Chains A and B, each alone.
Chain A
Amino acid sequence: DGGITQSPKYLFRKEGQNVTLSCEQNLNHDAMYWYRQDPGQGLRLIYYSQIVNDFQKGDIAEGYSVSREKKESFPLTVTSAQKNPTAFYLCASMTWLADTGELFFGEGSRLTVL
């Protein structure tokens, strides 16, 4: 079945280590997004990509990096520069056809920095 797969679901890391979260989609969607969610808060946009080999910063890009080498994949690296990386991370994808702009979300990755 088509969908978005995020891995790992849970991740524990020591402070100062870089961490890469995987996001893969087989929906043939052009656009992909990364959001961060803190407890009791809404979704905040980290990075987004509308096409392969291109991406733009969202509202909270500092301390994060992404790549978009393949249409299906949009990995997010949480670098040691991110001051408070413990959070729930959500990846989404979308294609824009006619009037359809529905976002499809993965199950999320919960990162805890010890």
Chain B
Amino acid sequence: DAKTTQPTSMDCAEGRAANLPCNHSTISGNEYVYWYRQIHSQGPQYIIHGLKNNETNEMASLIITEDRKSSTLILPHATLRDTAVYYCIVPGSSASKIIFGSGTRLSIRP
């Protein structure tokens, strides 16, 4: 599984777009990038995933660079409820060892 690197923490003003970066320089051609978030003392929640095209759903957008070595999760209009730890993972092409890392702690300021 490809290793991912994320900033330890970020903050964003309420109502603004939150852009969370992730580096996954060792990603293979058929491996997807997944994003999860964890609100305090709960299980992580799936947000979005993608292979090489940009993706959007009701929660967020995912921008993947052309070389696929990095991606950015975008929360278009951050609210206080978006305060959480965000994890970027690359599970690999089978249900193998899935490593989460430390994630990015996102704080939304009023």
Contact = CB atoms under 8 A, between A and B. Distances in A.
A55 B94 CA distance: 15
A90 to B, nearest CB: 6
A103 B98 contact: yes
A103 B97 contact: no
B57 interface: no
Contacts, number: 65
**B interface, over-half SS:** loop
Given A31-B95, A50-B95, A103 B46 contact: yes
Interface string B84-104: 010100010011111111110
Contacts of B95: 30-31, 50, 94-96, 101
Interface residues of B, number: 24
Interface stretch (B11-19, B36-44, B65-73): B36-44
A56 B94 CA distance: 14
Given A99-B32, A103-B36, A108-B42, A45 B97 contact: yes
Nearest to A4: B43
Interface of A: 30-31, 33, 35, 41-45, 48, 50, 56, 58-59, 88, 90, 92, 94-96, 99, 101-108, 110
Given A45-B98, A56-B97, 5 more contacts: A41-B102, A43-B44, A50-B95, A102-B34, A105-B43
Interface of B: 32, 34, 36, 41-46, 49, 51, 85, 87, 91, 94-103
